[in-house]
Copies of this chain bind each other. A is one copy, B any other.
Amino acid sequence: MAVNIVRPLYYQIAYGLSNKIKNGEFKPGDLIPSETQLSAEYGASKMTVRQGLTLLSDAGYLKTVPGKGNYVDWPRYDIFTVRFNEMEITGGAPGGVKLLEVNMEDPTPEIRQHLNLLPGGKTVVVKRLLYTEGNPSAYDVKYLPYEKGKPVVEREIQNVPFPEMVAKHGELFSVKNEVSISAAAANQECAQKLGVEPSSPLLVVEQKLYSADHKVIGWGKTFCHCDYFRLEAISSQYQRNQVLHKF
């Protein structure tokens, strides 16, 4: 015998409407019944109806236009959620990260531009090699603006992902993390570190971190051995939709 779960009224409203959208009773662009009508239909107060509609909006089903009503929105299949944390490439294995280099350097013009450095500004460069099951699987190179009196403590940054590395070095938080994913042929340096042939394909993940006042506080790339690493993503539409299956 099935357990009789009492679903909240607001949830029933959201779920009921979502079904009418899924089966085509309400189509994208349509106006659904007004909050007043839904109140009457479900015998619920306006606040309860609104709680249900909020759920549907968050799940991406509705677009609300003040003064007009709630429109059924078109599904978005082109937006995905992806996880990336260079430390996870190691699988958390002991000895999964080798710190190759921590140095102060004069930046190249490219790095200077990425970090928005003032003339004369120097950078801290951190180079790490990440291992998966004993094999080098990613070569990670990061640049931070050098600031006097903000030392980089080697043992503190070896095993932390980029945003935490930046936090330990200077700023409290990075508030924005931009990522660019591309493919490239391994150059001499990457090939040597990763033990692959030069010009082998690599998955390149470029990251740029910003502080609360929109300064660039870190930039770098992770060069991933294509046999050991891929990025998995899932449509956000589907993810958000899961809130409708809480009960």
Query: Which residues of A are in contact with B by a Cβ distance under 8 Å?
Result: 22, 24, 47, 54, 58, 75, 77-85, 88, 161-164, 172-185, 199-204, 212, 224, 226, 229-238, 241
- Contacts A47-B47, A175-B241, A185-B200 known; 17 new A-B pairs at CB < 8 A: A22-B173, A24-B172, A58-B58, A77-B85, A77-B174, A80-B177, A81-B236, A82-B179, A82-B233, A177-B235, A180-B232, A181-B230, A182-B230, A183-B201, A183-B203, A183-B204, A184-B201
Counting chain B CB atoms within 10 Å of each CB, which of A175, A177, A204, A229 scores highest? A177
Asked if A233 and B178 make an inter-chain contact with CB atoms under 8 angstroms apart, the answer reads: yes
Question: Given that A22-B212, A202-B201 are contacting pairs, would A232 and B179 also be in contact in the complex, using a CB cutoff of 8 Å?
Answer: yes
A-B contact pairs, 16 of them (CB 8 A): A22-B173, A54-B54, A77-B174, A78-B83, A78-B88, A79-B82, A80-B82, A81-B81, A81-B82, A82-B179, A84-B233, A178-B235, A179-B235, A182-B203, A184-B226, A200-B201
Question: Given that A176-B234, A177-B238, A178-B233 are contacting pairs, would A226 and B83 also be in contact in the complex, using a CB cutoff of 8 Å?
Answer: no
Question: Given that A201-B202, A212-B22 are contacting pairs, would A79 and B83 also be in contact in the complex, using a CB cutoff of 8 Å?
Answer: yes
Q: Closest B-chain residue to A166, C-beta based?
A: B77
Asked if A176 and B83 make an inter-chain contact with CB atoms under 8 angstroms apart, the answer reads: no
Asked if B79 and A163 make an inter-chain contact with CB atoms under 8 angstroms apart, the answer reads: no
Nearest-CB distance from A200 to chain B (Å)? Answer: 7
Residue among B178, B184, B230 making CB contact with A234, cutoff 8 Å: B178
